[in-house]
Amino acid sequence: MAIDIKVPQLPESVADATVATWHVKPGDKVSRDQNLVDIETDKVVLEVVAEADGVIGEIIAEEGTTVGAEEVIGKLEKGDGAAAKSDAKADTKSDSKSTSKDEAKASSDSGEKLEVKVPQLPESVSDATIAAWHVKAGDAVKRDQNLVDIETDKVVLEVVAPADGVLLEIKHDDGATVGAEDVIGIVAAGASKGRSGDSQATTDSSANDSSEDSDVAGPAVRRLLAEHGLKASDVKGTGKNGRVTKEDVEKHVKEGANKAASASTDKASAAAQASSGDRDQKRVPMTRLRKRIAERLLDAKNSTAMLTTFNEINMKPIMDLRKKYKDVFEERHDTRLGFMGFYVKAVTEALKRFPEVNASIDGDDVVYHNFFDISIAVSTPRGLVTPVLRDTDRLGLADIEKGIKALAIKGRDGKLTLDEMQGGNFTITNGGVFGSLLSTPILNPPQSAILGMHKIQERPMVVDGKIEILPMMYLALSYDHRIIDGKESVGFLVTVKELLEDPQRLILDV
C-alpha cells in the first residue's frame, strides 16, 4: 500500500515552500516518525516524517523544488509489500530504460540537430538565469545527462540532453538571462558515433560522473561543485547516507583539498590568478530565508516613515542587583539571570503606558493591541529571525529568561515552529552581544517600533557635579512616525531608561 508523503499545512501568510534536503532515497527502509525531508519556508524549516514503517518508493519533488501545502512530494510503500513493490518498480524502470535506449538509438541514427531549450517557467516567473553549463561545445553527451542548470528566483532547474550525441553549440553562456522555451544550445544526435573510442569512453565517464553526483547531491550542491571544478566523489559527505551538503563543499574548498585538481587546470589561468594575489570570487545563491529577510527590510525602509531616537542608561544598578542575586536565582530557577529579562520587563511596562507604540497600521486603520507579545531578535546559522515571547505581562523574570533561552536554542538548531515565528507587537534586538556600540535598527513590519540595546561600556559621567566612571549603554528606538509622534517615542524611551536605572520598580511593579 502506497502512502503519500505530503508537504505540511502552511500558514496563510506563506504561499509556498522549498524542498531543502531529502534524508532518504528511493529503496531506503524507514521507520515510523523518521525524518524524511526538510521543507524550508521564508521563516522556518519543517520536518516531514514517515507515517509508518516501510520503504521509500518514489521521490516526486527533488531538492530545490518549490511546493505548496498538502502537495505530494513522494511515496512510501508501507509494510511487507514494500519490497515487492520496489522490485516491480525496478522492473518498470528497466523496461523504461530499454525503451529510452531504443528511442535514443533511433535518434542517433538519424543524425538530426536537436534544440536544447529552457523548460516551461511558472506564471509568476518571467525569466531565468543560466547558472552553470556542465559541458562545453564539442563534448560528447549521453541522453538524459544534465547539461546546464537554470536558476529562477525560486528553484534551480536541470536541462538534460535529448539524445546521445555531441553538443555543437552553446547559444547563451553562464549568467545570461533567458525566457521559457528559449533555445540555449544545439545537440547533434548520433554524432558521437563518428568519434574515437577514447571520445566514447569520455562520454560514458562524463555520464557516470553526472549520475553519481545526482545520487549524492542536490541541484544546488551540484552547481557549487561545478563552480569549483569538483565531483561529488571528491568531497566527503556528512549528510544522511553520505549525501554531500553545501557545507561539505565549502569546507573542502576552504581546507585546500582541491589544490591537486587546480594544479592540473589551465596554466595561464593559474598564472593570472597568482599574479593578481589570489583575488578570486565565489558566487553563492541566497537562501529563501535570506531573500525574505532582504525583501522585508527593504519593504520596511520604503513603506514606513522610520525615525530613530536615542538615550543612554546607567547599567550599574542592574549589574549590582544581578551580581548580588545571580547565584541564588540560578539555583532556584535553574536558569541564568541575564539582562534580557530586565529589558523585556521594562519594555512591557512602557508599552502599557504608551499604547501608540503597541499599535500597528492596517490600511487606513490603527490597530491597538491589548496584549504584549515581544519579538526577540535571534542570530542563527540561517540568518536573523525574530521568534515571539508571548504574554510578557504575565511572566516573571525567570519565565522570561527560560523562554528566551528556549527560543535561542530552537533557532540555533532550526527547530522554531511557524507559530513561534508569527505575530509580535514590538521587537527587541541586542547588538551589544556582538560589540555594537550604537545602531539604528530597522522596523519589523507590521510592527511600529523596535528597540536596539547595545554594548555596555564604562564612560566618564557627571553625577551630582562630580565625574564618575559608570557602565553605560546606548538605547536606540526606531519607530514609524506615521503612527507615533516624537512626544510618545521619547516618552517611551525615557520610561524604559528610568525603569532599568531603578530595577526595584520592575520587581515591585510601581
* pLDDT class of 12 with cuts at 50, 70, 90: low
* Structural domain 288-508, CATH architecture: 2-Layer Sandwich (3.30)
**Are the CB atoms for 470 and 458 separated by under 8 Å?**
yes
CB atoms within 10 A of CB 170: 19
Q: Which helix (H) or strand (E) holds 36?
A: strand 35-40
Q: Is 16 a catalytic residue?
A: no
The correct CATH number of 109-275 out of 2.40.50.100, 3.10.350.10, 2.30.110.10, 2.40.10.220 is 2.40.50.100
Asked if pLDDT for residue 433 goes beyond 90, the answer is no
Q: Which of 57-71, 181-195, 254-268 has the lowest mean pLDDT?
A: 254-268
- Tens digits of residue pLDDT in 77-106: 987 544 444 444 444 444 544 444 454 444
**Inter-CA distances, 119 with 33, 66, 162, 189, Å:** 36, 15, 13, 20
Pick the residue with more confidence: 258 or 490?
A: 490
Neighbouring CB atoms inside 10 A of 274's CB total: 9
For range 481-494, the mean pLDDT: 96
Render pLDDT for 306-336 as a digit per residue (tens, 0 to 9). 999 999 999 999 999 999 998 999 999 999 8
More confident residue, 225 or 264: 225
Q: Is the dihedral of CA 402, 404, 405, 406 positive or negative?
A: positive
SS (H, E, C) 292-320: HHHHHHHHHHHHCCEEEEEEEEECHHHHH
Would you list the domain boundaries of the chain?
A: 2-89, 109-275, 288-508
Peptide bond before residue 446 is cis, with ω within 30 degrees of 0: yes
Architecture of domain 2-89: Beta Barrel (2.40)
pLDDT tens digits for 154-190? 456 788 888 889 998 999 988 788 888 899 999 988 7
The single residue of 33, 204, 413, 481 carrying the catalytic annotation is 481
DSSP E strand boundaries for 50-179: 54-59, 66-67, 72-78, 113-117, 128-133, 140-141, 146-151, 156-160, 165-170, 177-178
Q: What is the dihedral of CA 58, 59, 60, 66, to 10 degrees?
A: 170
Nearest-angstrom CA–CA distance, 440 and 461: 23
485 catalytic, yes or no? yes
Do 2-89 and 109-275 show the same overall fold?
Answer: yes
Measure the CA–CA gap between 251 and 283, rounded to whole angstroms: 15
* Reported pTM: 0.52
* Least reliable range by pLDDT among 221-230, 430-439, 441-450: 221-230
> pLDDT band for position 150 (50/70/90)?
confident
Q: Which of the residues 373, 485, 502, 509 is marked catalytic? A: 485
Residue 79, phi then psi, degrees to nearest 5: 70, -155
Number of other CB atoms surrounding residue 110 within 10 Å: 12
Residue 437 has pLDDT above 90, yes or no: yes
In this structure, are residues 306 and 478 in contact, taking their beta carbons and an 8 Å threshold?
A: yes
Decide the pairing of beta strands 426-430 and 449-453.
parallel
Helix axes 316-333, 486-501, angle to 10 degrees: 60
Rg (CA), the chain: 29
Cell output for 405 = 533561552
